Amino acid sequence: MDHYDCHTGGKRGFDDHMAQAKAAMEAGDRAMGVLMGEVGLKPRRPRARAGDGALAQHVKQLVINALEAKLGTRVTRADLWLQEGDYRGPKWDLDSWGVNAVVGTGNLLSCCSSLAPMGDYRRCKAVHLGHNDIHDYGLCYDISVPKERAKQ
């Protein structure tokens, strides 16, 4: 009942095809590296996926530290999300990025978000969590740069 069995020789044929494609891409990458070396150019370092870079991990840790200090309990899981502003329904949804964190014994979800770009938090040692009045429950926070950092 597998539609592609007739084209690939079953699962094994598909795996063989993928291995051949991967080997061809790696050979092409090596050839481009040699070519760029002969011309005197350095190959570009691949960019980290959005949300996986050093800045994103730094900001995520700042939010985790702020949540743990504010709530007095440990964050057991935190997920960073990124979003571009867009019109969603009856209002504009402009949050730029945020962290959803499971706090304590795993039954409280805290949602933190910021309108500022992550670059504004690059040199911060801590972030400020302000209460978000948009939601009717108390574990939503707006992330901002502390006042003393904003004055500099």
| Average pLDDT, integer, range 45-73 | 86
pTM of the model: 0.61
What pLDDT sits at residue 64?
93
Residues 6 or more apart from 73 whose CB is under 8 A from it?
103, 104
Length of the chain: 152
User: Sorting pLDDT into bands at 50, 70 and 90, what band is 62?
Assistant: very high
Residues 6 or more apart from 130 whose CB is under 8 A from it?
141, 142, 144
Q: pLDDT, tens digit, for every residue of 24-45?
A: 999 998 898 888 888 888 777 7
For Cα atoms 81, 86, 90, give the angle at the middle one, nearest 5 degrees. 115
- Proportion of the chain above pLDDT 70, given as a percent: 72
